[in-house]
Amino acid sequence: MRLLKLVPDDTNIQFLKWRKVAMAISILMIVASIALVAARGLNLGVDFVGGQSVRVEFPQAMPPIDEIRSKVAAIGLGEATIQQFGSDKAVSIRTALPEGDKAAADRAGAQLVAGIKTAFPTATTGSVETVSGKVSEELLQTGALSLLLAMVAISIYIWIRFEWQFGVGALFALFHDVALTFGFFALTQMQFDLNIVAALLTIIGYSLNDTIVVFDRIRENLKKYRKMEIIPLLDLSLNETLARTVMTSFTMLIALGVLLWVGPDVIFGFTAAMLLGIFIGTYSSIYMSAPILVWLKVGPDSFVPRTTAGIDGGERVERKDDGAVV
């Protein structure tokens, strides 16, 4: 049986030939994303702006989510977030916190419960839980801090595992991925909640996985081809890992495409963010992290110790004071 190959064995694409164009486009997209977030802002969900939540349990089969959403929207409390909760006969309905004091929140909660009982007479409603603005602000701060710490910790890890130049390249690629994802949500005004924060952390992990595979091959080739120029060496490394990168991205895209098409509404934003992240994560591992090494003057002799024993026949490699390898 012949194996499926998405990338031929003799692939020789000159990726670094377009590094300046790709970097210029990426920087423009990062700036545009930041401008979009500053100008339009994010459509923050109940998790980050506060709101009210009530659990609704149905005695028999639960109605379709779209039907529940349309009837809850008719109550007049704004857009609601509906999520299946616990069993297949219960949902959690969340609405935005109304402006005003606690009395206004209590009135909105009573209106929500009354509207649900009118729309679904046989349903049982629990008590209304209110997420205050203080709690939602803490969630927002915690989510932002988790993204920042993840990026910094990953960069430190790569710095220790490889060299500081690789850490800089990985940090820039991760910043690129996160910035473009924020820009996407600012442009589309899709709801941004804790699910999206989870998607961003997953995107960071996926992008890092691709980047480490590429960096590992670059480091191996730096030791193996010490007389090769850095740009051909990076192209060689990217082509050698291309089959693995394409196969991983392809399988992820199939799964996410199915989820986006037939998956539940509650994870639509998560799936959309992940789908975008696969594209930009694959792109950044090729056109962001690798070209940074060129501009940081990484070369075949950059990480050669002052005196090392060669692999073939005890060949001795020494570094002179001026940096040359003999």
- Burial per residue of 257-267, b for 16 or more beta-carbon CB atoms within 10 angstroms, e otherwise: eebbeeeeebb
Q: Does one domain contain both 187 and 146? A: yes
Q: Which domain, by its residues, includes 66?
A: 51-131
Q: Does one domain contain both 290 and 154? A: yes
Q: Does one domain contain both 261 and 123? A: no
Can you tell me the distance from the alpha carbon of 271 to that of 261, in angstroms, rounded to the nearest whole number? 10
**Of 131, 146, 177, which residue sits at a domain end?**
131
- Above pLDDT 90, what percent of the chain? 9
Comparing 88-102, 128-142, 195-209, the range with the smallest average pLDDT is 128-142
Q: What is the pLDDT of residue 312?
A: 45
- Above pLDDT 70, what percent of the chain? 83
pLDDT (mean) for 87-97 = 75
Q: Does one domain contain both 155 and 287? A: yes
Q: What is the pLDDT of residue 323?
A: 43
pLDDT (mean) for 122-147 = 73
Q: What domain count does the chain have?
A: 2
Can you tell me the distance from the alpha carbon of 78 to that of 65, in angstroms, rounded to the nearest whole number? 16
- Whether the per-residue pLDDT at 86 is higher than 70: the answer is no
Q: What is the pLDDT of residue 313?
A: 40
Q: Does one domain contain both 237 and 188? A: yes
Helix (H, G, I), strand (E, B) or coil at 51: strand
Q: What is the pLDDT of residue 307?
A: 47
Q: Does one domain contain both 74 and 174? A: no
Helix (H, G, I), strand (E, B) or coil at 267: helix
Domain assignment present for residue 318? The answer is: no
Q: Give the CATH number of the domain where residue 121 resides.
A: 3.30.70.3400
Look over the chain and give the mean of its residue pLDDT values, rounded to a whole number: 79
DSSP H or E run through 67: helix 65-73
Domain assignment present for residue 76? The answer is: yes
Q: Does one domain contain both 290 and 166? A: yes
Q: Give the CATH number of the domain where residue 291 resides.
A: 1.20.1640.10
Q: Does one domain contain both 87 and 160? A: no
Domain assignment present for residue 319? The answer is: no
Domain assignment present for residue 32? The answer is: yes
**Of 131, 152, 173, which residue sits at a domain end?**
131
Q: Answer whether 203's CB lies under 8 Å from 274's CB.
A: yes
- Whether the per-residue pLDDT at 273 is higher than 80: the answer is yes
Beta bridge partner(s), residue 257: none
Q: How confident is the model at residue 8 (pLDDT cuts 50, 70, 90)?
A: low
Q: Does one domain contain both 82 and 156? A: no
- Whether the per-residue pLDDT at 198 is higher than 70: the answer is yes
Q: How confident is the model at residue 180 (pLDDT cuts 50, 70, 90)?
A: very high
* pLDDT, greater one: 94 or 280: 280
Domain assignment present for residue 170? The answer is: yes
- Whether the per-residue pLDDT at 47 is higher than 60: the answer is yes
Q: What is the pLDDT of residue 42?
A: 85
